[in-house]
Amino acid sequence: MGFFWADEPKKSSCCGPTCNCSHCRAKRDVPKFDPSSLGSCPVMKKQTSDGGCPRDNINPLNNMPMDLSSSRAPGQTIDLPTEKTKSSIPKGPDTTEGVWVYPSPQQMLNAMIRKGKGDVPEDAVESMVDIHNFLNEGAWSEILKWEKFHTQATDIEPRLQKFTGRPDQMSPKAKVFTTLGKYFPSRFSSAAPFDRHDWTVLRSDGRGGWSEVRYVIDYYAGPEDEDGLPTFYLDVRPALDNLGNARDRLRYWTQTEAKPVWDKAMGKT
C-alpha cells in the first residue's frame, strides 16, 4: 500500500520522539497528542484575516511568513527555546544555500497563534516541534530511496526546492483507501491522513541542470505504542504527473528493497 515507517536518520545523535529514556519521557509528559495540531503553516488554502496566514510577505518556497517572530507571545506563561534546528535536507539548486532550517519552538507557537490555534498547550510545543522535524526527516529519507536510481546514474544527490502543506486536500490515493476501508475494514483502514504535503524535489540531469519532481506525502497517525506514545506512518511517492513518475513507481516496487511488499500484495509468499 505504500506505507512506511519514518525512521529517525542515523546521523542524528539526539533522541527521537519514540525514545524511552528518562529525558525524553519527561519532555513528552504533555497532554494527549492531537495530530491535527501539526497541520499549521505552511499550507495551501484560502487565507483569512482572523487567524489564517496572510498572503502578504509570504515566502513562496514554503508558504511561511517571512517575518515569523521569535518573540514571546502576549500572555505566554512559559519560556520556549528560540534556537532553530538545521535539517539534513539540502535546500535549492545552489549548493551554497546549505540546508533547510526548522522553526524554533517559539516560532512554532507564534505560527499556531497566527493561524488561530493558540489553544495548544505551551508545554506541548517542544514535543510538537520534535515530532514535526522527525516526520520531515523521515519523509526525506523515503524520498532518497525513491530517487536512488537517478542518484546512481548521475552521482548527484537530489535537493528540495520548495514544499507546501495541503491538509484540506486529500490525495486521490488516500481517498481510494479510506473508501475501501469503509467497505472492507478487515483489509483496509478508513482512517484519513491527518496531513498532506507536496514537496518539489530537484533531480540532477547529470549535465549541471535540474528537473523538478513533485512528491506527495500523506501523514497517518498510527496506534499508540505500549508506552502510550504516538506512532506515525508516511505514504511517500512521486506524484503521477507524467509517465516518468509512473515508471519510477513501478520500478521502485519491483526492483528495490520494497519488492517483498509488492510480492505480498500480489499474493506471492
- Answer whether residue 171 shows pLDDT above 90: yes
Residue 257, classed as helix, strand or coil, is coil
Higher pLDDT, 255 or 212: 212
DSSP 54: P
Reported as a pLDDT band with limits 50, 70 and 90, residue 188 is confident
Which residue type sits at 53? Answer: C
Pairing of strands 159-165, 195-204: antiparallel
Q: For residues 47-66, b (16+ Cβ closer than 10 Å) or e, as one string?
A: beeeeebeeeebeebbbbbe
- Answer whether residue 170 shows pLDDT above 50: yes
Higher pLDDT, 23 or 257: 257
Surface-to-core class of residue 108, CB atoms within 10 Å of its CB (0-12 exposed, 13-18 middle, 19+ buried): buried
The dihedrals phi and psi of 45, each to the nearest 5 degrees, come to -160, 175
Q: Are 238 and 249 in contact (CB under 8 A)?
A: yes
pLDDT tens for each residue of 63-91: 666 667 889 999 999 999 999 999 999 99
At a CB cut-off of 8 Å and minimum separation 6, what does 28 contact? 17, 127, 229
User: Within 13 Å, how many C-alpha atoms sit on residue 174's CB side?
Assistant: 24
**154 grid coordinates:** 548521475
- Answer whether residue 267 shows pLDDT above 70: no
Surface-to-core class of residue 126, CB atoms within 10 Å of its CB (0-12 exposed, 13-18 middle, 19+ buried): buried
**Which residues, in sequence order, are bridge partners of residue 85?**
102
**248 grid coordinates:** 519510477
Domain ranges of the chain: 22-238
Q: Closest by alpha carbon to 239, among 268, 178, 194, 197?
A: 197
Residue 120, classed as helix, strand or coil, is coil
**Is the dihedral angle over the CA atoms 197, 32, 52, 100 positive or is it negative?**
negative
Q: Closest by alpha carbon to 201, among 255, 237, 231?
A: 237
Residue 236 has a pLDDT of 96
Higher pLDDT, 207 or 62: 207
